[in-house]
Amino acid sequence: MESQLDLAAALAEIARLGQNVERLQQDVARAEFNLYTVYQISKTLGGVLSMEEVLGHVTDMMAEVMTVRGCYVLLPTEDQDALTVRSWRFPMRDGDDPPPALELRESESVPEWIESLEGEALAVSDFNNSLFGRAFPDGAEQLQAAGVKIVVPLVYKKRLMGLLALEEKYTNAEFGPADFQFLSVLAPLAANAVSNAQLYEQAILDGLTRLYVVRYFRQRCREEIKRAYRYGKPVSLILWDVDHFKNINDTYGHLVGDQVLRELGHLMKHATRVDVDIVARYGGEEFVFLLPETPREGALVLAERVRRRVEQHAFTSRELSLTVSGGIAAFPVDARDYASLVARADDELFRAKRHGRNRVCVPGMTPEAVRESVPNVLPGAPPSFG
């Protein structure tokens, strides 16, 4: 009898040790997976400078790794006084689902909250927490209404770059210590990538219009001309100038003038092809389009469309009206290098100004012939040029 009890005890101990070994194996496997994931994320984010790409990678990887129903990144608004959703991913929903309309107002307590983290990216699940609640007074109500379960601050050099918000897991499992520890490793990588992307944006984007700066445009233009020469493709350039812009500044002030330029930049950017055309602010009230693989005829159609769209647009809350003049030049028919291409487009822009403004000029055509050649162009998406 005693030997049977000893045997039963031994078997129970063996079973317990087996469970411990299995648990250790699972922990080791999870640790290996986490280490590999951190390595992959670090490698991916380290090679990306575009903010949109960085945020896309962050939301994609976080949503998959954390197995959540929704993941989004909140970044500061232009005024730097609130955080809004800039990127999102919903693995279990329709790809067209919009993100929650979050706008978390920051208070003067944000630095105190960041200081309390002591350099670690700690996940917040209690949005009424005294420090987090003081930092974002209206945050708890908005986050809970959006179904957010935890928020992870993205902190870089004691600066709050943004917030990572996660909904519940689609397995309905609770977030545990291992999840929080994992996020505390991943969040600094994401924060560093966001910081690098911001620095890159500041270097290539105009602070007012968020279009490319002229230095970046010149670089891309030279690259596109070399590529066009190699493959025998056309490249077109449109140089724009706002007609009588000084009158707006003199009449309404520079703040209204800045808003007009901001709206005009937005209008021009959304009239061109995403990730193909380059739209830059060329000077104070001058803009320029670089249109790869676009012949002069295609550029003319786009230019007339933009000109008419601007003419019909009511700018700012004052519903101001304005017009633009444009000059077109194309490689290789009008010029065969960057300097000559810009100079030829500038000549055509001057001709448009001289003929009364609010028109587009192109080599070899009168302004009247230009309008007659594109009689039915209406505001809308740009045509496909090939």
The verdict on whether 224 is a catalytic residue reads no
User: Cβ distance 105 to 76 under 8 Å?
Assistant: no
Paired tokens of 341: 């291409």
d(CA 213, CA 287): 10
Place of tokens 């021009």: 268
Q: Alpha-carbon torsion 324, 348, 270, 79, what sign?
A: negative
**Burial classification of residue 130, based on how many CB atoms lie within 10 Å of its CB (0-12 exposed, 13-18 middle, 19 or more buried):** exposed
Among the listed residues 106, 167, 224, 285, the single catalytic one is 285
Order the strands of the 103-105 sheet from edge to edge: 103-105, 82-89, 71-76, 159-167, 148-156
Q: How far is CA 383 from CA 35, 370, 377, 378, 386, in A?
A: 47, 17, 10, 11, 10
Beta strands (DSSP E) in 243-323 are 278-281, 286-292
Beta strands (DSSP E) in 5-81 are 71-76
Spell out the residues 6+ positions from residue 344 whose beta carbon is closer than 8 angstroms to its own.
329, 334, 335, 363
Provide the annotated active-site residues. Answer: 285
